[in-house]
Amino acid sequence: MYSKQNLPNDGKLKAILAHVASAKIDGHCPFCQKLSTFSKVSSTNWNLQPASGNLPVLMAKEGFYELSITCARDSSHKIRYFYLLGKNKVEKVGQHPSLADIANDEAATYHSVLSKEDSSELHKAVGLAAHGVGIGSFVYLRRVFERLIYRRFSEFKEIEGWNEEEFLKSRMDDKVSQLKGHVPEFLYENRKIYSILSKGIHELSDEVCLRALEFLKLSIKIILEEDKKKREELELKQKAADAIKGFES
């Protein structure tokens, strides 16, 4: 979030910094290109070392500051955050690698289960969110979600004898319910994802959308991860079947 935040009172600030100094964060490492744990929070200007009472104190003048977290896999892999500290306020002003770079690098993992159009719009959603445009990001995430559902319907409609016209007229909750057994269990159990995306577009502010964005991206990621595993499993089965057939001949 690139917005000014009021600094809390001294006691609460110490508690926050104590947590930050010892924090361990799980996330995608853009250098390893896989999930990792980040720790060893350090700063060039802020004193995060324990002071009296085992709580750190903030010792900084107004100006620009850098905070970094280090990948547990490789100490040279760091994500850096840049802040502007003013009188009783702090504002994030930069990050390297950028949020969009990290998120799009992570999304590249799912290119095998995403169409070119879906990949492009997921990229746009992440880019808009990185620039604080929450509602616009929701628009693209909803489009990706819709196509994931319609693609699954098209895949099974002939086998199941489904009526396409009736399917297209039904509510999204009903669409997902109809696809039970053909969509990831997580998606079936969390059908309200779509209603949240729709509400964000029509009713919520950018700020509220941005707060909800992380768990919505995570939800879509879980769906894509299940699709990816399914495709990889089918490919392995096909390879095994081809190998067995070749051996027998």
Query: What is the pLDDT confidence band of residue 166, given thresholds at 50, 70 and 90?
Result: very high
Q: Are 56 and 50 in contact (CB under 8 A)?
A: yes
Rounded to whole angstroms, the Cα distance separating 221 from 227 reads 10
121 and 91 share one domain: no
Range of the domain at 43: 4-97
The number of angstroms, rounded, from the C-alpha of 174 to the middle of its chain's C-alpha atoms is 26
* Structural domain contains residue 240: no
112 and 199 share one domain: yes
Query: What is the pLDDT confidence band of residue 67, given thresholds at 50, 70 and 90?
Result: confident
93 and 146 share one domain: no
117 and 53 share one domain: no
59 and 112 share one domain: no
28 and 75 share one domain: yes
Rounded to whole angstroms, the Cα distance separating 104 from 123 reads 6
Question: Among 20-29, 122-131, 212-221, which is the least confidently predicted range?
Answer: 20-29
Q: What pTM does this model have?
A: 0.61
Q: Report the pLDDT averaged over residues 185-194.
A: 82
140 and 81 share one domain: no
